[in-house]
Structure 1
Amino acid sequence: MSHHHHHDDTQIDWNELSTLLETGAELQAPLYTQAASWLGTLVPAAGVRRILDVGSGPGVLTCLLAKAFPYAEVVAVDAEQPLLKQAARRAERAGLGDRVSVRHAELPAAIDDLGEADLVWAGNSLHHLGDQRAALSAFTRLLRPGGLLAVVEGGLPARHLPRTIGIGRPGLEARLDAVHADWFTDMRAELPGHTEETEDWRALLTAAGVTPSGTRTFLLDVPAPLPAVVRDHVVAGFTRRRTVLADRLAADDLATLDRLLDPRDPQSLHRRPDVYYATAHTVHTARRG
């Protein structure tokens, strides 16, 4: 993309993020499995023959959806070829290669070329499209009669530490979230066709011509002490935040973050017994009449 960016830190290198995305989705599989089985109560599994996983990334959700809807062909749709390769390999390993395919597509331009579907799943991908209202209308056009649109947006930011951690000012994670929220606003402002919307998803779905059919929030809760694989993911997530938000953080918070990321420090994320992982994702659904 050629348009000018003011903030270099709002550029996202998805390939660089692929491991973080993949392990994150794997750890959140229990939450997404619950979400997928809930979708199965809204739309009959036997009637779902084609699913689009829009913004599929490495395909963790694509494979979960294929398991939840055993009669469906599932298409992983993404703009990043390396992530789609990962998705295809994952489907092969899971024995789903005959039902899962990948589709390289630049969104929102290519939405109308994706073909019709009984279920369109947009998991934390809509907020990367400048005009979310227009994208929802485009997704709606792809739905077969009775088809379901499922949009994962919002929920609760992940939490990993108590309010006081023995170093730095209490409330570090709340401040990181506030700084991240500003970063997110800047990231969205630089998207092509960016339009500011009130994120009332029921209202936006209704405006797109579909009938809201329920919203639910699903929790992931991994208490301390964390298994090594989860701890590694938390460290990777904080490392990513350090990279992206460094210029925006107060000096003392940056210093605390550096201690948390130093494996030799007894107070680090690598060694602390009190690190946990709690987050929640909200799924908004709507049906085409």
Structure 2
Amino acid sequence: MSSHHAHHGDDIDWEGMAAHLERKAEVNAPYLRAAADWLHGLLGAADSGAVGRVLDVGSGPGAITCLLARRFPSARVAAVDQSEPLLDHARSRAESEGLGGRVETLRADLPDDLGALGAADLIWSSQAVHHLGDQQGALNGLAAALRPGGLLAIAETGLPPRFLPRDIGIGRPGLQARLDAAWEEFFADMRAGLPGSASVVEDWPAMLTRAGLVPSGTRTFLVEHQAPLDGRVREYLRLHLTHVLGALGEGLDAEDRGTLEGLVDPDAPTGVLWRPDAFYLSAATVHTARACTLDG
């Protein structure tokens, strides 16, 4: 389970996937650092021994794993993913950042291997739980891995990215609103097709409560890169829209599909790599909850 998608089969472009996820983490770095600071405060981790083990469940290539290792310098941190190639990237990244002595990797197929993760003081999982059929069951399993007083942080929902004006001079105005609607249909179909798919009201604090935890706060973090975008953010935006085009495919009408194809064309002057009006604005929501202490 990478931080975006469950993958099956041997035809995945893992190098491309790793590059995409690493670029996403780079674009989201201000939010991720702010979230790590918030978790540090919630755990009272000024006491250097307060956090001994951290799990990054759905770690992908380990960018967030390494961020958590730096923010909790006394902890051992485990990158947990189903993809061995992505875990190879996580190991290499940890070594290159001087964190190899404290960062380990665990290959796990979720939800089957939830019980084998071992106990942790902090568990972080970003955009992974919604790829498991039984989301409540997944939260129950993650909650069971927490040590008394431990913290579970689930990054789910938020707001989809905005990146262009309503009227971009090509195609019908309002493209992004139509993409949002098409994506909701795609997401619902994806969820319905997952093994053991179970419908649940996605009230994450209530779900965390049902998992036996005590909600400790929800925060939404703004991700903003203003126009004109630098090259790294432009390339991530092109990759993001390429993924959207591949996922929605024939679900778009011909005009919107053509507009999207033009936006991801690396050589088109109207593409996102070159447009002066391209920006990136999104919001990520993190839900947290604590395990009860032994005396409470």
TM-score normalised by length of structure 2: 0.92
1:233 matched to 2:258? The reply is: no
Match runs of 1:100-249 below 5 Å = 100-249=103-252
Q: Where does residue 280 of structure 1 map in the other structure?
A: 283
Q: Where does residue 35 of structure 1 map in the other structure?
A: 35
Q: Which amino acid aligns with 2:263?
A: L
Deviation string for 1:105-129 (max 9, x for gaps)? 1010001111100011111111111
Deviation string for 1:81-139 (max 9, x for gaps)? 00000111111111000010000010100011111000111111111111010111111
Q: Which amino acid aligns with 2:237?
A: V
Q: Which amino acid aligns with 2:38?
A: W
Counterpart secondary structure, 1:102? strand
- 1:270 deviation in Å? 2.1
Q: Which amino acid aligns with 1:262?
A: D
1:257 matched to 2:260? The reply is: yes
User: Matched residues in 2 for 1:278 and 1:22: separation?
Assistant: 18
- 1:11 deviation in Å? 6.8
> How large is the Cα RMSD of the aligned pairs?
1.4
Counterpart secondary structure, 1:283? strand
Q: Where does residue 17 of structure 1 map in the other structure?
A: 17
Counterpart secondary structure, 1:17? helix
Counterpart secondary structure, 2:158? strand
Q: Where does residue 72 of structure 1 map in the other structure?
A: 75
Counterpart secondary structure, 2:229? coil
- 1:176 deviation in Å? 1.0
Q: Which amino acid aligns with 2:185?
A: D
Is the Cα–Cα contact under 8 Å of residues 231 and 273 in structure 2 kept in the other structure? no
Is the Cα–Cα contact under 8 Å of residues 249 and 257 in structure 2 kept in the other structure? yes
Counterpart secondary structure, 2:79? strand
Where in structure 2 are there 5+ consecutive unaligned residues?
Answer: 1-5
Q: Where does residue 7 of structure 1 map in the other structure?
A: none
User: Matched residues in 2 for 1:261 and 1:204: separation?
Assistant: 38
User: Matched residues in 2 for 1:41 and 1:76: separation?
Assistant: 22
User: Matched residues in 1 for 2:277 and 2:75: separation?
Assistant: 42
TM-score normalised by length of structure 1: 0.94
Q: Which amino acid aligns with 1:68?
A: R
Counterpart secondary structure, 2:137? helix
Deviation string for 1:178-230 (max 9, x for gaps)? 11111111111111111111100111000100000000011110000000111
Is the Cα–Cα contact under 8 Å of residues 119 and 147 in structure 1 kept in the other structure? yes
Counterpart secondary structure, 1:269? coil
User: Matched residues in 2 for 1:32 and 1:212: separation?
Assistant: 20
Is the Cα–Cα contact under 8 Å of residues 11 and 187 in structure 1 kept in the other structure? no
Runs of 4+ more than 4 Å apart: 10-14
Q: Which amino acid aligns with 1:239?
A: T
User: Matched residues in 1 for 2:96 and 2:269: separation?
Assistant: 39
- 1:14 deviation in Å? 7.2
Q: Percent identity?
A: 51
Distance 1:195 1:255, change over 3 A: same
Is the Cα–Cα contact under 8 Å of residues 14 and 80 in structure 1 kept in the other structure? no
